[in-house]
Copies of this chain bind each other. A is one copy, B any other.
Amino acid sequence: MVITYLEAIRAAQAAALRDDKRVFIYGQDVGVFGGAFKATKNLAQEFPGRVIDSPISEDAMIGMAVGAAVSGMRPILEVQFADFSTLALNQIVNQAATHYWRTGVPCPITVRLPSGGTSGSGPFHSQSMEALYAHYPGLVVMAPATVQDAYEMLLAAVAIDDPVIYCEHKYLYYHLKADDLFTEPPVPVGKARIARAGRDLSIVTYSAMVHEALAVADELAKEKIEIEVVDLRTVKPLDTDSIVASVSRTGRLLCVGEAFPWGGVTAEVVARVASEGFNLLDAPPMRLNAKDTPVPYHPNLWAAHRPTARSIADAARRLLRM
């Protein structure tokens, strides 16, 4: 059996619908059509009345999910592209995220955000928005990098009593395949995973960039350089302990993200390691992000805009020389 990252997302939703009556799915074109990316393919047919097409109303989509969740349901929302969640931001950060803290009543919604760049998608269908959501209190922000995590973390998201922003990477949808849904022992939500062990340098990253980092580790292994790759899995909470532990083994930190360079995950990781693991560092921590422009359309520009195995390898080599 071969299962893709996208199929895992579909399978997790099918399992959630099957096992929990409180679950329903709401989003544009998620019904009989099966969603823009087919992440809900056949689910409307299999679970009649529980997979519902919404109007093009991102604000109302999330608002409705909040009301349903507060009244006992477990909605899964699909925003057609993460980029359109700017229009739902208010309901996410001010309504859903504050609800439990203000009222004591939990608001268990899962917001699926098809995230990240793919060639030719341009400024408005490529964004990685985890930093916005992680900044606000009251949200759990996931960014699965593997097929197994795509599955298990989505089920966890539905089970968690808090609003979860589930950032699924569009590039991985079809590109990432596994032989099985379960190949590794499950890791609890909130814990990072050592995707590859090494002792010369830690690359801390998440989502699609985990695979770029693994490619770099492969390449540098030929030069006898051992890269440890830490897959964050959730960017909030951020598993500082595992990150610092990795840096304590390697003494060198390169933090890589596909998002815009100001702030965000890489800043938070580097700042925490600098504060909490200062004496473990044998060299200055380093960051690698996308460039500080919108995500470009043309593949030439796109490839230069975001980190790639090549630019990560360059950065790693530079850091190893420090």
Which residues of B lie under 8 Å from residue A236 when comparing CB positions? 262
Q: Which of A223-242 contact B (CB under 8 A)?
A: 236, 238
- Shortest 10 CB-CB distances between A and B: which pairs? A278-B284, A274-B274, A270-B271, A86-B90, A267-B267, A267-B271, A137-B292, A135-B263, A267-B268, A98-B294
**Are A135 and B262 touching (Cβ within 8 A)?**
yes
Given contacts A86-B93, A293-B101, A294-B137, contact A131 B274 (CB under 8 A): no
A260 within 8 A of B: yes
Contact mask for chain A residues 256-282; partner B; CB cutoff 8 A; 1 contact, 0 none:
000110111111101101111011010
Which of B87, B90, B102, B135 is close to A294, meaning CB atoms less than 8 Å apart?
A: B102
Which residues of B lie under 8 Å from residue A276 when comparing CB positions? 284
Given contacts A86-B90, A98-B123, contact A270 B274 (CB under 8 A): yes
Shortest A314–chain B CB gap in Å is 16
Residue of B nearest to A136 (CB): B260
Cα A138 to Cα B127 in complex, Å, equals 14
A89 within 8 A of B: yes
**Are B135 and A131 touching (Cβ within 8 A)?**
yes
A56 within 8 A of B: no
A170 within 8 A of B: no
**Are A260 and B293 touching (Cβ within 8 A)?**
no
Cα A89 to Cα B58 in complex, Å, equals 13
Which of B87, B267, B285 is close to A263, meaning CB atoms less than 8 Å apart?
A: B267
A94 within 8 A of B: yes
A245 within 8 A of B: no
Residue of B nearest to A130 (CB): B263
Given contacts A90-B87, A293-B137, contact A271 B278 (CB under 8 A): no
A132 within 8 A of B: yes
**Are B275 and A284 touching (Cβ within 8 A)?**
yes
A124 within 8 A of B: yes
**Are B271 and A266 touching (Cβ within 8 A)?**
yes
A178 within 8 A of B: no
A53 within 8 A of B: no
A70 within 8 A of B: no
Which of B135, B260, B287 is close to A260, meaning CB atoms less than 8 Å apart?
A: B135
A283 within 8 A of B: yes
**Are A287 and B263 touching (Cβ within 8 A)?**
no
Cα A89 to Cα B84 in complex, Å, equals 11
Residue of B nearest to A269 (CB): B271
A65 within 8 A of B: no
Which residues of B lie under 8 Å from residue A283 when comparing CB positions? 278
Contact mask for chain A residues 69-94; partner B; CB cutoff 8 A; 1 contact, 0 none:
00000000000000100110110011
